[in-house]
């Protein structure tokens, strides 16, 4: 399995593509995710990442899917995980399980406060912020690849944007190999964030989170959850097509295609697609931009 890589071995001057999937709740959803993984694997992406349900609610299923990506599809995998409700020994136990399945990379997150809790509380003998988790993983498992979450528009919980940006830099400096960003829809924020990271001396790869929108309800939820801004033309399309899902999906694909193309032209070279366990929009976008991704294999 020589092609399974650590994040630090992946990034260079080429353009890079990766995909996020999440553990589904139903048997039908499980069939769909495996079909999506099979379909998108054929493209020869750099990696998949698998999310981790709030508070560890999907820990087993996340591990199962990450293991299938690694051992069946044989594509590099990044397992997300949060430190919500875990002490240091439990974190180590999870890292050992990941390692046991051959998974060589993690996306190290603090996570959101558990339901009913307003503020995140450091678990007893656990971690209060992602930078502490990163430092711990780096110390205990120096060979693991580590990504961290980036927020080009700032993390919603911290009203002081400068302070939040410094926290993000500290988190990368704690031992991360790269940053995956929150979904964003206005490239201005990403490009400003990239320039600020360079000025702050961050040299690790910046992997841009691209969310191909497919329906109006979902779009509103994403803006709410991520705190991302939306350009006026996108909002107009969402309004116009709120009862026309096919046109909304087409508009979402066109928007994301233009978004990625503009970023490529601005020198950005790594794109992480929030697939929502579906392959069609992501494939259409990459098909539209084939010439920029010569290493991808289209049927």
Ligand X SMILES: Cc1cc2nc3c(=O)[nH]c(=O)nc-3n(C[C@H](O)[C@H](O)[C@H](O)COP(=O)(O)OP(=O)(O)OC[C@H]3O[C@@H](n4cnc5c(N)ncnc54)[C@H](O)[C@@H]3O)c2cc1C
3-state secondary structure 48-89: EEECCCHHHCCHHHHHHHHHHHHHCCCCCEEEEEECCCCCHH
**Could you identify the residue written with the tokens 């924020």?**
189
204 is an interface residue for ligand X by CB under 6 A: no
Q: Which of residues 86-115 bind ligand X (CB under 6 A)?
A: 107, 109-112
**Among 34-42, 46-54, 242-250, 251-259, the segment contacting ligand X (CB under 6 A):** 46-54
For ligand X, the closer CB: 167 or 250: 167
Active-site residue 20, yes or no?
yes
- Please tell me the total number of residues recorded for the chain in this structure: 299
Q: Which of residues 121-180 bind ligand X (CB under 6 A)?
A: 129-131, 149, 155, 157-158, 164, 167, 171, 180
Nearest residue to 19 (alpha-carbon basis) of 267, 220, 259, 285: 285
For ligand X, the closer CB: 251 or 268: 268
Min CB(246)–ligand X separation in Å? 29
Give the number of C-alpha atoms closer than 13 A to the C-alpha of residue 195, restricted to the C-beta side. 6
Helix (H) or strand (E) holding 215: none
For ligand X, the closer CB: 178 or 252: 178
| Distance from C-alpha of 75 to C-alpha of 256, rounded to nearest angstrom | 24
Helix, strand or coil, per DSSP, at residue 144: coil
String marking each residue 62-91 x if it binds ligand X according to CB under 6 A: ------------------x-x---------
**Active-site amino acid positions:** 20
Contacting residues toward ligand X, per CB under 6 A:
51-52, 54, 80, 82, 107, 109-112, 129-131, 149, 155, 157-158, 164, 167, 171, 180, 182, 209
């Amino acid at each position: 399995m020589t092609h399974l890589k650590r994040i630090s071995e992946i990034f260079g001057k080429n353009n890079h593509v990766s995909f996020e999937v999440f553990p589904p709740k139903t048997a039908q959803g499980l069939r769909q995710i495996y079909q999506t993984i099979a379909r998108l694997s054929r493209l020869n992406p750099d990696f998949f990442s698998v999310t981790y349900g709030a508070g560890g609610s999907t820990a087993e299923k996340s591990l199962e899917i990450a293991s299938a990506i690694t051992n069946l599809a044989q594509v590099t995998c990044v397992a997300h995980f949060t430190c919500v409700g875990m002490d240091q020994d439990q974190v180590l136990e999870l890292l050992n399980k990941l390692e046991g399945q051959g998974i060589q990379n993690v996306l190290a997150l603090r996570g959101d406060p558990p339901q009913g809790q307003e503020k995140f509380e450091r678990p007893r003998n656990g971690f209060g912020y992602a930078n502490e988790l990163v430092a711990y993983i780096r110390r205990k498992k120096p060979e693991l690849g580590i990504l961290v979450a980036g927020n080009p528009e700032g993390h919603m919980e911290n009203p002081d944007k400068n302070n939040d940006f410094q926290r993000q830099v500290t988190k990368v400096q704690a031992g991360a190999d790269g940053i995956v960003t929150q979904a964003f829809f206005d490239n201005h924020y990403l490009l400003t964030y990239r320039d600020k990271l360079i000025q702050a001396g961050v040299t690790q790869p910046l992997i841009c989170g691209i969310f191909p929108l497919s329906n109006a309800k979902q779009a509103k939820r994403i803006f709410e959850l991520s705190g991302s801004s939306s350009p006026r033309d996108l909002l107009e399309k969402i309004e116009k097509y709120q009862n026309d899902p096919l046109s909304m999906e087409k508009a979402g694909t066109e928007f994301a295609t233009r978004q990625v193309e503009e970023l490529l032209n601005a020198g950005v070279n790594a794109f992480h697609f929030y697939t929502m366990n579906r392959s069609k929009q992501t494939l259409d976008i990459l098909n539209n931009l084939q010439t920029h991704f010569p290493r991808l294999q289209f049927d």
